[in-house]
Structure 1
Amino acid sequence: MSPGKTTPPWPSLYNPGLEILHIEHRPPTQKGAEYLYSASDIFRFTLYWNLIFYTPLFLVCGLYAFWNYSFPPSPRPSQHPPFQDTLYPLTPLSSALTSRTPGNTPLTTYKKNERRSRLAFALLVLLTFMTLSVAGAVIGAAVLGFVAMGLFRAGNFNMSTWIPFLLAVIQVFVGLLSVWPSIIEII
């Protein structure tokens, strides 16, 4: 960090109009604005914003998966009878073809897993979601923060404290957009 350039406290968000409105013939740093100069500060700010925006979405999805795994929906009988086409009536098979003798009955006994219950698996799913959310936030903050730092240094610009905030918002929106094709297939 250069002398005279101090690290602002997190989050240090200010009126963005200082940077956008009426900036002709003004110095590159505006009075009342906060700037980041160190790579570690940029990473830290981006990580905090990523954890704030990214982790709750994973928590909601993880809780939904936890709830569905812990308490699976019971199959409900259909309220409408199955569609019957009168042009092609189905004839039942003879009972000789469908009956089973005691010797050829398949054994379909399900063993209960003594070591893990449904709740344990649900907790593992929730823990996996939370671990992946923190890992995604850290990796996203590292990539976005250091790429943005490189771009700002290459252009000799001053990085506003709003940039890590916007990078985190963009990462969350891109993550939500990547879910869209999966949702369309499910629907």
Structure 2
Amino acid sequence: MRSFVTNNDIPVGYVTPKFPSLYWPINNSKYNTAFLYYISDIWKFSLYWTLIFNGAFYVTAGVYASLTHRKKAGSVWIFVMYVLYGGVQGLTTGTVMGFLIGAIYRSGLFSMSTWVPLCCAVVQILFDVVLSYSMVGSVM
């Protein structure tokens, strides 16, 4: 049972959950639920998940591109550029997405499950995968 004292519906004694703090919310008595209330916590979780997924995607793409061009002199630089681009993109999209969904949840006085930043990062990386195909990218 949660008891609320403040007007922004943050429980008394609330402690920010550790990253990743994912739990299965259906029929689960073993783990406590983990919610995010502060915009800074929502931003951190969104940024971490976006950097993880972007890192995995762009490192894999960079290794593949480097291996296909391994006989040329710039194959190492191809990998470095992929990783650098993935890091910068992860930092910017994670920051924008984190503050945006944080502001939306905060304005409605909702608590955010720790699954929401993960799902937003998955959607963002799937959007990158869809745009990586040249025909789809030119149509959109």
* Distance in structure 2 (CA, Å) of the matches to 1:134 and 1:41: 20
Partner of 2:52: 52
Q: What displacement does 1:183 show? A: 7.5
Alignment of 1:21-36 (within 5 A): 32-36=32-36
For the pair 1:154 / 2:110, whether they are aligned, the reply is no
Structure 1 gaps, min length 5 = 19-30, 73-117
| Aligned equivalent of 2:83, options 104, 124, 130 | 130
TM-score (norm 2): 0.79
- Structure whose residues are more often helix by fraction: 2
Distance 1:184 1:148, change over 3 A: closer
Give, as a single letter, the amino acid of the residue that structure 2 aligns with 1:138: L
Distance 1:148 1:57, change over 3 A: same
For the pair 1:168 / 2:125, whether they are aligned, the reply is no
| Paired positions, count | 126
- Percent identity for Structure 1 against Structure 2: 29
Partner of 1:11: 20
Alignment of 1:101-116 (within 5 A): none
Secondary structure of 2:40 counterpart: helix
For the pair 1:66 / 2:19, whether they are aligned, the reply is no
Give, as a single letter, the amino acid of the residue that structure 1 aligns with 2:46: T
Q: What displacement does 1:54 show? A: 1.7
Larger Rg belongs to: 1
Give, as a single letter, the amino acid of the residue that structure 2 aligns with 1:133: G
* Distance in structure 2 (CA, Å) of the matches to 1:168 and 1:12: 16
CA displacement 1:17-62 (0-9 Å, x = unmatched): 27xxxxxxxxxxxx92111122221111112211222211111111
Partner of 1:78: none
| Aligned equivalent of 1:139, options 87, 92, 98 | 92
* Distance in structure 1 (CA, Å) of the matches to 2:54 and 2:13: 34
Greater length-normalized contact order (CA 8 Å, ≥ 6 residues apart) = 1
TM-score (norm 1): 0.61
* Distance in structure 2 (CA, Å) of the matches to 1:184 and 1:51: 23
* Distance in structure 2 (CA, Å) of the matches to 1:169 and 1:38: 22
Give, as a single letter, the amino acid of the residue that structure 2 aligns with 1:68: T
* Distance in structure 2 (CA, Å) of the matches to 1:62 and 1:183: 21
CA RMSD across the alignment: 2.3
